[in-house]
Amino acid sequence: MGFLADSLSRIKPSPTLAVSQKARELKAAGRDIISLGAGEPDFDTPDNIKQAAIEAIRRGETKYTAVDGIPELKDAIIDKFRRDNGLSYERDQVTVATGGKQVLYNAFMATLNPGDEVIIPAPYWVSYPDMVLLAGGQPVIVEATLEDDFKLTPQALEAAITDRTKWFLFNSPSNPTGAAYSHDELKALTDVLMKHPHVWVMTDDMYEHLVYDDFQFVTPAQVEPGLYERTLTINGVSKAYAMTGWRIGYAGGPRELIKAMGKLQSQSTSNPCSIAQWAAVEALNGPQDFIAANNEVYKARRDMVAAMLNEAEGITCPVPEGAFYVYPSIAGCIGKKTPGGKVIETDEDFVTALLEDEGVAAVHGAAFGTSPNFRVSYATSTEALEEACKRIQRFCAALQ
Ligand SMILES: Cc1ncc(COP(=O)(O)O)c(C=O)c1O
């Protein structure tokens, strides 16, 4: 009998964190590396938010708090859901955790029994299937194709639902594709879900505020109020407020579920950091105008990156609605050889050779469940992005 838990053998370490780590190591060894692997803003946390944290320390807000969040943060979250999403929650319908990641984890651990199925559209965020597996559930991967702009069709959703489906996991704007569903596109999915009352909806709205070209963000319980009683709406401050290191995520949903998630958290991590919670209060209640200013920068980068990648031989890069990723296809590079004689058979071969030959780090599509693609994060300086895209063009041009 082995020492480690069997459940661990079902999962793998996060491949996106692994790419960032590899890039850091190569950089430390003196290589000129540009990393397009990170899933975090290159902007700093706004000053008013930092200041709120400093004041919280000075006030002595340094003790344990209520397990699932201080009342002040819950109220800020309630206001945010009402203001941005037209959703009404009370304090006992809101939970706060150490990042959106822990919210997702708590929700799966609190609800999945062996054999319970979770429908996950691919390409997906790397952690979803592994979290489901760790909680004893069964991920059911349903592909959303490039032809459908990486958006799940209602037919594909319908076909994936079985008696054992417990959750439909929805993520818009998406990591890794940046694709975001319009009201009508989402309504087509919620219409399907209305026909299956045993299916619950977990929506990961982490990139809500990062949308471009006047795109209107919508979330399932807003588009279909009939789903409110079985929807967990997850969000967090990491992406829009440039607060990845502070580790605050939250959700609104049905009381029984929220209570169960709190119970789980009470026996694992307890409350999220008290100081970070006060910073999140300021993030949600304070000025929001820097988000639009940051989005201008992101949009310009998205347009530049998509245009330059589309000029690279063998690459097709859609222009998505949101987040800070593009997810180009490299179908035109498969089967070709690098000048060093390596054959590109998979997208992993592509990103490995790109890192070795040109010092550009990115994550291969197989990590997100769809190949042959790779994910480019444009949450990095415009100069670095331009140089990285030039290197990718040169890399592709050298393939034979
Ligand atoms: C789609 C998606 N959901 C959730 C998270 C988790 O965010 P955090 O735990 O920082 O709140 C991430 C982070 O990369 C993400 O991309």
Question: What number does the ligand 1 atom closest to the CA of 40 have?
Answer: 14
Q: What is the mean pLDDT of residues 385-390?
A: 98
- Radius of gyration for the chain, computed over Cα atoms and rounded to the nearest angstrom: 21
For residue 145, the CA-to-ligand 1 centroid distance in Å is 22
Residue 82: the pLDDT is 98
The yes-or-no verdict on residue 251 having pLDDT over 90 is yes
What 8-state DSSP symbol labels residue 125? -
| Nearest to 189, CA basis, from 225, 165, 223 | 223
Q: What is the mean pLDDT of residues 164-171?
A: 98
Question: Is the whole model's pTM more than 0.75, yes or no?
Answer: yes
Strand pairing class (117-122; 325-326): unpaired
What is the C-alpha separation between 268 and 263, in angstroms, rounded?
A: 9
Q: What is the mean pLDDT of residues 80-91?
A: 98
- Residues 198-235 have pLDDT tens digits of 999 999 999 999 999 999 999 999 999 999 999 999 99
Confidence grade of residue 137 (pLDDT, cut at 50, 70, 90) = very high
Residue 1: the pLDDT is 67
Q: How many Cα atoms occupy the beta-carbon half-sphere of 31 within 13 Å?
A: 17
For residue 93, the CA-to-ligand 1 centroid distance in Å is 21
φ, ψ for residue 360, nearest 5 deg: -110, 120
Report whether residue 37 contacts ligand 1, using a CB cutoff of 6 Å. no
Residue 37: the pLDDT is 87
Confidence grade of residue 273 (pLDDT, cut at 50, 70, 90) = very high
Q: Report the mean per-residue pLDDT for the chain.
A: 96
Report whether residue 238 contacts ligand 1, using a CB cutoff of 6 Å. yes
Nearest CA to ligand 1 atom 7: 100
Question: What number does the ligand 1 atom closest to the CA of 39 have?
Answer: 14
For residue 99, the CA-to-ligand 1 centroid distance in Å is 7
The yes-or-no verdict on residue 301 having pLDDT over 70 is yes
Report whether residue 85 contacts ligand 1, using a CB cutoff of 6 Å. no
The yes-or-no verdict on residue 94 having pLDDT over 80 is yes
For residue 18, the CA-to-ligand 1 centroid distance in Å is 16
Q: End-to-end CA distance of the chain, in Å?
A: 50
Question: What number does the ligand 1 atom closest to the CA of 102 have?
Answer: 9
Best of 206, 250, 269, 368 for a ligand 1 pocket test (most atoms within 8 Å of beta carbon): 206
The yes-or-no verdict on residue 261 having pLDDT over 70 is yes
What would the two tokens of residue 117 be? 């199925």
- Residues 18-64 have pLDDT tens digits of 777 788 888 899 999 999 988 899 999 999 999 999 999 999 999 99
Report whether residue 174 contacts ligand 1, using a CB cutoff of 6 Å. no
Q: Is 252 helix (H, G, I), strand (E, B) or coil?
A: strand
- Work out the burial of residue 136: count CB atoms within 10 Å of its CB; fewer than 13 is exposed, 13-18 middle, 19 or more buried: middle
- Residues 325-356 have pLDDT tens digits of 999 999 999 999 999 999 999 999 999 999 98
